[in-house]
Amino acid sequence: MSLLITQVQVTIEEMPPNDNYNGYRDYRDWFPYQSFRPHQEEMLDRVQEVACSGEHRVLAIDAPTGSGKTSVIAPLLANRGGNKIVVALRTVSQIGVYLGEIKKIKRETGHSPSVAYLVGKHKMCKLSGEFDNVYAGCDLMKVFTMDVLEAKLNETMRRNNRSAQEYNVYDPETDPEIATEIADESPGYRTFCPYYLHSKEAYTNEGAKNFRPSKQAINDSKAILQEILYPEELRKRCTRTCPYEVMAISAKKADVVILNYNHVFDDAMRDALFDWLEINPENTILLVDEAHNLGDTVRSINSDTITLHVVEKAISEVNQVTGEKNRIVARSAGNILSRISTYMEKTRNRWQGRKQGEDWFDPGMFADFVFAGGGLARDDSQSIADLLKLAQNIKKQKQKSSESAEVFLERVSEFLFMLHLARRDSSYLPVKSMSDDQWLTLAIRSLDPSPVIAGIADTVHATILISGTLSPAAAYELYYFGKNGRVEILSIPNQFPKEKRLVLGAKNATTQSSYRNNPSNQRELELHISALIEGVLGNVAIYFTSYSMMDQYFDHCRRAAQESGKILYTEPKDARDVPDILKRFFESGSSDKKGVLLAVCGGKMSEGIDYYGEALKGAIVVGFPLAAFSEVQKLVNSYYQRKYGRDQGLFIAYTLPAVNKAIQALGRVHRSADETGVLVLCDSRFSRGGGLGVRQYLPQWMQDEMIICDGTWSRELVQGW
């Protein structure tokens, strides 16, 4: 859908002054800018309409970078009524964008919206450096600290000669001895968390002992709401209190709560978190950013894996179980775990000498082997329930003995539960995989995100999905909601000036397997690559479909870079090395010695990174980045073909992810309206429509502006641009 407007800019002074515009509260009073970007007003009008009407409506907005998508928060705030706005983000790095937007609303409009967020404990915990596993360590410290608070409350009652039936309070802030006790604690060997301690008060009410936020924690939480602190600022502000507890307190009172995808789309986590934060789904407006990532992320959230290491740890836990009743269940658990270990060892041995890879395994045969001791009365469901119950008992034992709260038996039990689902539900796929270092993993992969996404959308007041690359939107609707017609779709044209970009499509070059080693085809690919490296004066990125293809063309890229006086940077296989390489590549953009980055589509350096300014002036996607056509991928394809038919099913399962990877990679070039750059789709499948071609699925502006050329003409076009 294209939006046509004759006036590209509307100033605030030209807007209707009334507070009730078309029956809604006018969001223009909340809009913090002097003018709208092209098509932005139409987008915000639609968001306002959906937010006001509710009725579980879903609006998906496909709007390229620079459209002003973040400003949808203005009509949501203006028309939220009694609803809370929950913003779901894929990465923590996006939080600052929304905090900045709401700060601007507060500064420029006179309104005072409040916003809070939850950031992972690994980033916010004051003691994170003392734990191998910060989540397990934090859970254990909380238990210890609550025991300390309860003991201090009992001591207070004894000292004051008061009963639990009376109202009693223990506040660490008023305890003159607590500072000495904290000072006596040794890092790594603590018996309680000083920050969690100062975040709570213990009290009695009609004989029951309870806990509530401390006055200091409440005061710190007000700072988030009043000042809008960024996560690093909040962590510094909480000099005595637990940042995570402070975030939770503020979230209960905020107009806007920013969460990550896991918080919202993991059913168990969402139920617990929404209950803790007092969020009622029926009174929630859900805003999902980077929605093109939602489906794959939801699938990952609802999948499960185990390794031989996890199983061995679980066996060790079971062997240490005490108590006669527990030992009876532990013997059965030990037999099950031993069979899982045997199965995995045999699988690994059979894989010896083979390349890394993945394959399907039969969940029925696995269950028959693992639960073989059940005899005729075998009940797999009951066995799994017994394992989960035993895991909870082990967790309690660990907490009492000051051990890590992480329970490996729980992870194995949850995997077995997922495996039980996979036996009767084809949307869960059992997969065994082997890494380079012969590390075997068993996984139950969720294939279909639509039950989870549609289920949440059917519960909340309204849902807004926004993305810069939600193309083709109708295919994403089918993938996310299981049917077409459920979602209202709004597609916004690219507002960046056409003269700022050159879009090229390869006429003949391709990485199709039948042509991959053809000398003339390889030469065409090399010509397109050289045209970008040598013709663009600034930094460029070459995105390949795989690491093996990157290796195949490495020497050619190195020679072209040397001839152009540029430095070659290569995407590392270890993610820990990415920041350093990116830093040096970015710096080369503003130096005399420009850079050439070799990376993989869908890899560590092709998504979620902003290459602003001189950091990237051109990018080429070499090949159509389809997933390997493995036996596992064939099963994924088959599932979607059974569900949606041969053509639509294959497109969603196999083609759509490849289109998205390519668009995401090229999207790194233009991050603002004044930036220039060259975009090259170096595979003839991008240039053709119909058959194996995918041109019709690209964003409309790409289709309209693409110049189809061979390698020689590509060089002329780039050099003359």
Distances (CA, A) of 507 to 348, 472, 607: 45, 23, 26
| Distance of alpha carbon 72 from alpha carbon 27, whole angstroms | 10
Given a contact cutoff of 8 angstroms between Cβ atoms, the answer to whether 574 and 550 are in contact is no
Task: Note whether 655 and 522 are same-domain residues.
Answer: yes
Task: Note whether 515 and 639 are same-domain residues.
Answer: yes
Given a contact cutoff of 8 angstroms between Cβ atoms, the answer to whether 281 and 457 are in contact is no
Task: Note whether 606 and 573 are same-domain residues.
Answer: yes
Greatest pairwise CA separation for the chain in angstroms:
93
Mapped onto helix, strand or coil, the DSSP state of residue 345 is helix
Q: What pLDDT is stored for residue 561 in this prediction?
A: 96
Enter the tokens of residue 508.
């003949």
Task: Note whether 438 and 453 are same-domain residues.
Answer: no
pLDDT digits (tens, 9 = 90+) for 359-389: 999 999 999 999 986 555 678 999 999 999 9
Q: What pLDDT is stored for residue 327 in this prediction?
A: 81
pLDDT digits (tens, 9 = 90+) for 1-45: 333 333 333 343 344 433 444 556 789 999 999 999 989 999 999
Report the relative pairing of strands 84-89 and 115-117 from DSSP bridges. Answer: unpaired
Task: Note whether 403 and 426 are same-domain residues.
Answer: yes
Mapped onto helix, strand or coil, the DSSP state of residue 573 is coil
Q: What pLDDT is stored for residue 18 in this prediction?
A: 38
**Which residue segment(s) compose the domain that 388 sits in?**
304-446
Given a contact cutoff of 8 angstroms between Cβ atoms, the answer to whether 227 and 253 are in contact is no
The mean pLDDT value of the chain amounts to: 90
Task: Note whether 419 and 467 are same-domain residues.
Answer: no
Within 166-214, strands assigned E span 168-170, 200-205, 208-213
Task: Note whether 516 and 651 are same-domain residues.
Answer: yes
pLDDT digits (tens, 9 = 90+) for 321-344: 887 777 888 999 999 999 999 999
Q: Which residues of the chain have pLDDT under 70?
A: 1-24, 353-356, 373-377, 401-405, 437-438, 605-613, 671
| Distance of alpha carbon 472 from alpha carbon 385, whole angstroms | 43
Q: Which of 432, 462, 495 marks a domain boundary?
A: 495
Q: What pLDDT is stored for residue 336 in this prediction?
A: 95
pLDDT digits (tens, 9 = 90+) for 144-173: 999 999 999 999 999 999 998 999 999 999
Give the residue carrying structure tokens 């170096």: 682
Mapped onto helix, strand or coil, the DSSP state of residue 120 is coil
| Distance of alpha carbon 695 from alpha carbon 234, whole angstroms | 47
Amino acid in position 201: E
Give the residue carrying structure tokens 């391709």: 510
Amino acid in position 75: P
Enter the tokens of residue 422.
């996979």
Task: Note whether 388 and 401 are same-domain residues.
Answer: yes
What CATH number is attached to the domain comprising 460?
3.40.50.300
Q: What pLDDT is stored for residue 408 in this prediction?
A: 95
| Distance of alpha carbon 542 from alpha carbon 529, whole angstroms | 8
Task: Note whether 311 and 283 are same-domain residues.
Answer: no
Q: What pLDDT is stored for residue 176 in this prediction?
A: 92
Nearest to 683, CA basis, from 615, 631, 626: 626
End-to-end Cα separation, the chain, in angstroms:
30
Residue 289: phi and psi, rounded to 5, are -90, 160
Task: Note whether 381 and 282 are same-domain residues.
Answer: no
Number of domains the chain is built from: 4
Burial environment of residue 319 by CB neighbours within 10 A (0 to 12, 13 to 18, 19 or more): exposed
Q: Which of 476, 495, 514 marks a domain boundary?
A: 495
Task: Note whether 47 and 148 are same-domain residues.
Answer: no
Q: Which of 430, 446, 462 marks a domain boundary?
A: 446
Task: Note whether 563 and 634 are same-domain residues.
Answer: yes
